[in-house]
Amino acid sequence: MHTQQIVNEKITVDEAIRKGRKMLLLPRILLLAGIAFFTQLGLIYYMICKNAQSSAGRVLQVQFGVGVALGFFLLVYLPFLFWSKKTTQWKLWAFENVRNVHELMHVAKRAALCYSPGTFLDRLQIQSKSERERWAALQGKFDVEDIFIDAPEVPPQTVIYLSSSYQIFNIIFNLLCVGVGSFLIYLGFQSLKTSWLALVGAAIAIATLKSAITLTKSLIARQPQITLNVKGIQIQQAELHSWADIKEEQVQSESRHKATVWVLKYNYLNEHQKLDINDLAISVTGMEKLLRVYRGRHSAMSNKS
């Protein structure tokens, strides 16, 4: 029993997540494609029902209705069953073989590999009696706190910059807008009646050219946005914030103008710190991993002192 426990703890959260993404890629594609095709069948059936006035039309309605029912079974139910079974298989394997189940649950929900117990999407999954019993037997692992497991691939210090691809895309977009503004200026000078176009074009060209220049300077300068190491977190050129004075560090989503923005948030000496990370050259899961690793290394060093 003890040997099995040691083996189980060799699987890291990152390894489990990578395997989950591979296992569930095909089921997700089949399910989404099936739903898309079935939706098209449903729309065709609706049009048939709407125009079925003659006896021949009603016969076609019945025949196509049978096809829609069969399509639901083949295109929606079977892919859903496949996805549900693969999701359950991965979840049981992952939570049986990973030591830090709290971290795994957090990252897995972020990656949409599983859902919080008791939620609608969790209850929607089809599970056998033995699978439910295996999951129930794993609940005791959630009573044990996670331990810090270092990640050797994480360097002593990580410097995060703005995403170069994001900046280049915005530079190109702004230059295209400069072109649009210049064309409006040209049209505006063609006639006195459209002279207002020249003013609009000039405003667009000047604003977007200024933005393109600013983005180009930022791309060339390549200033660090976040620096993380065992000592703490440094935001841009501000002072280093020590882990000893940092509390509740986390990556959270915020809704702004109907869009989702991811931000790094933490409290430093009772002051709230926040920085958008959407435009940075790092993923949400990557940032969460760095926070966990550097915080863990700091705690391990403090315990040794």
How many structural domains compose the chain? 3
For residues 214 and 233, membership in a common domain is answered with no
The pTM for the full model equals 0.74
For residues 220 and 212, give the distance between their C-alpha atoms in angstroms, rounded to a whole number.
Answer: 12
For residues 68 and 76, give the distance between their C-alpha atoms in angstroms, rounded to a whole number.
Answer: 11
In 3D, which of 288, 263, 287, 262 has the Cα closest to residue 274? Answer: 263
Q: Look at residues 143, 173, 206 and tell me which one is the last residue of a structural domain.
A: 143
For residues 42 and 85, membership in a common domain is answered with yes
Three-class DSSP labels, 157-218: EEEECECHHHHHHHHHHHHHHHHHHHHHHHHHCCCHHHHHHHHHHHHHHHHHHHHHHHHHHH
Q: In the prediction, which pLDDT does 3 show?
A: 36
In a domain, 158, yes or no: no
For residues 102 and 172, membership in a common domain is answered with no
In this predicted model, what pLDDT tens digit does every residue of 128-186 receive, in sequence order?
999 999 999 999 999 999 999 899 999 999 999 999 998 999 999 999 999 999 999 98
Give the Å distances, CA to CA, from 198 to 37, 44, 178, 191, 210. Answer: 48, 49, 13, 10, 18
H-helix segments, the chain? 2-8, 13-51, 55-72, 78-97, 101-110, 120-124, 129-137, 164-188, 195-221, 284-304
- Domain limits for position 277: 224-304
Note down pLDDT in tens along the chain; length 305 residues.
Answer: 333 443 346 789 999 999 999 999 999 999 999 999 999 999 988 888 877 676 666 777 888 889 999 999 999 999 999 999 999 999 999 999 999 999 999 999 988 999 888 888 888 888 999 999 999 999 999 999 999 989 999 999 999 999 999 899 999 999 999 999 999 998 888 876 677 888 999 999 999 999 999 999 988 988 999 999 999 999 998 899 999 999 999 999 898 877 889 999 999 998 999 999 999 999 998 999 999 999 999 999 988 76
In a domain, 240, yes or no: yes
For residues 264 and 181, membership in a common domain is answered with no
For residues 262 and 217, membership in a common domain is answered with no
For residues 58 and 81, membership in a common domain is answered with yes
Q: In the prediction, which pLDDT does 138 show?
A: 94
**The pair of three-digit structure tokens given for residue 111, joined into one six-digit string:** 């990656």
For residues 187 and 291, membership in a common domain is answered with no
Q: In the prediction, which pLDDT does 52 show?
A: 67
For residues 68 and 184, membership in a common domain is answered with no
For residues 252 and 264, give the distance between their C-alpha atoms in angstroms, rounded to a whole number.
Answer: 7
In a domain, 80, yes or no: yes
For residues 91 and 186, membership in a common domain is answered with no
For residues 87 and 129, membership in a common domain is answered with yes
**The pair of three-digit structure tokens given for residue 71, joined into one six-digit string:** 């399509």
For residues 13 and 7, give the distance between their C-alpha atoms in angstroms, rounded to a whole number.
Answer: 14
Do residues 83 and 131 lie in contact, with contact meaning Cβ atoms separated by under 8 Å? no
* DSSP reduced 3-state for 250: strand
Q: In the prediction, which pLDDT does 9 show?
A: 60
For residues 21 and 106, membership in a common domain is answered with yes
In a domain, 152, yes or no: no
For residues 230 and 201, membership in a common domain is answered with no
Do residues 48 and 65 lie in contact, with contact meaning Cβ atoms separated by under 8 Å? no
Q: In the prediction, which pLDDT does 291 show?
A: 96
